[in-house]
Structure 1
């Protein structure tokens, strides 16, 4: 059979045009683009900044590239279960999971990829609110041979306002550090945004080999009805109130304190797991809970 190719092309073009005309007046979700809300801050997600305030790579102009082992964190549920965390804001530049470097100071065995990640216990958007002037922060530390851990806090203008370096055992587990209400440190200001950087120091002579995570702290003032609800609630009920109000650090710290006070409290353990699962961190919920501050 003879094929009239030009004629077929004209027919196809006509049908395509007809389809476009017929559908041009129909709304389409695919044709709409997401417009991020304005926060007046950089909106680049992914790898976070450095201790020197230059977002993108660890400090040092000759910092090596990083390997990013897969930690297989779960995707957080869009609608967390009761007691789960309700995110209050869009993401900010940060780094919840740290990758290993190729530097000579690498102090983590990456042969076991599911057990070799430094992870901040933070929502996936790297942002956490708190009512406290001196909140406690948490990280999951893998088995390591690090010389020390370091926490640095910066204000919104990237001025360093606090730094501490501590020794660790090298064992895997959850490490917590509280901002101190002593040593001359002022409490976090209400409505001010702060950036923190937490590092495993693999080689103090070559800080480009550090493994690090970064995120943001935001102290807020509770609305009168929320403050009253918290005051009237039983201690065991406060974490779910904090979580529903988007107060990540308060929820996590409250449950951690309940678990430390009574390690056999199965309800507290369940609340801890539920909160971590709500931000995709259920895989580390059974890690031993340490207290480093």
Structure 2
């Protein structure tokens, strides 16, 4: 009896050990999968919540946000060119559709004079241009900024050679920290120019306008400090601060390239200054 019971006990111990090991091997991955699934679910819920909040904010903006273009400041009108104006059969850059375009508000006066003018609150703002030409073309491109735009002795304070992009689209030109800061309540004239035929010494194709730095009220500045990007965009648009409104919305679009509501808001903003024809052009990545 005792001699037979020993093998049975040994068998039971081995069987129990194997069973325990098998259960542990099954349960540990199950816990890992459960924890991973829970983490994925939280991340998914967070993304969905963020997406819903973005759509909700955009719906509110679409219903009440318009760009309030401020009046031209006193003094000589700024003038300028919002389109490059290349023409078929003339020297210079070839005709394209759309043409070289500055993303800036403009007005057309009764005497056919166009005024290209906008406000910023920044010492070093950014400009956006639709460029129809690409880097495979041997064209020279420059951005120039001058102070005292109405003076005969206008002083150039910044000049930058611009590399043409890989494909046609909207490029961003920012004033760097090495350039003088814009002064408050002072006007500056900018030029974005392309020379397409250097050997023939043909005229440059260019756009130009005037920018003025202004201060916002302390209450508005405080509101901007805590506002989400979409709210900041709405504040700038309502206050007539073109350059920050455009830059804020452009950055949002680049971070959310597939968001249809942001694309619609972008079209609305450009449509409000009659630049519908370039509203669908891609915003290209910033070059180093």
1:122 to 100, 104, 111: 104
| Residue 245 (structure 2) pairs with residue 251 (structure 1) | yes
TM-score (norm 2): 0.66
Compare the two structures and name the one with the higher helix fraction: 2
Whole-Å separation in 1 of the counterparts to 2:278 and 2:138: 20
1:100 to 68, 86, 103: 86
1:154 to 146, 156, 160: 146
Q: How many residues end up aligned between the 2 structures?
A: 207
Whole-Å separation in 1 of the counterparts to 2:132 and 2:263: 21
- Counterpart of 1:226 in structure 2 is 220
- Counterpart of 2:64 in structure 1 is 82
Superposed CA offset, 1:204-250 (max 9, x none): 34554211000011111111121122123211211111011010000
CA contact (8 A) 1:195 1:214 kept: yes
1:172 Cα deviation from its structure 2 partner: 2.1
| Residue 193 (structure 2) pairs with residue 188 (structure 1) | no
| SS of alignment partner, residue 271 of structure 1 | helix
- Counterpart of 1:137 in structure 2 is 127
- Counterpart of 2:284 in structure 1 is 290
Bigger Rg, which one: 2
1:262 Cα deviation from its structure 2 partner: 2.1
1:271 to 257, 265, 272: 265
Task: Provide structure 2 residue ranges, at least 5 long, that are not aligned to the other structure.
Answer: 1-61, 108-115
CA shift in 2, pair 1:239/1:203, >3 Å: same
Whole-Å separation in 2 of the counterparts to 1:292 and 1:232: 26
CA shift in 2, pair 1:190/1:207, >3 Å: farther
Whole-Å separation in 2 of the counterparts to 1:194 and 1:169: 26
| SS of alignment partner, residue 209 of structure 1 | coil
Whole-Å separation in 2 of the counterparts to 1:162 and 1:208: 24
CA contact (8 A) 1:154 1:161 kept: yes
Whole-Å separation in 1 of the counterparts to 2:257 and 2:224: 24
CA contact (8 A) 1:150 1:200 kept: yes
Whole-Å separation in 1 of the counterparts to 2:208 and 2:248: 22
Whole-Å separation in 2 of the counterparts to 1:199 and 1:191: 26
CA contact (8 A) 2:146 2:190 kept: yes
Alignment RMSD, CA only?
2.2
| SS of alignment partner, residue 86 of structure 1 | coil
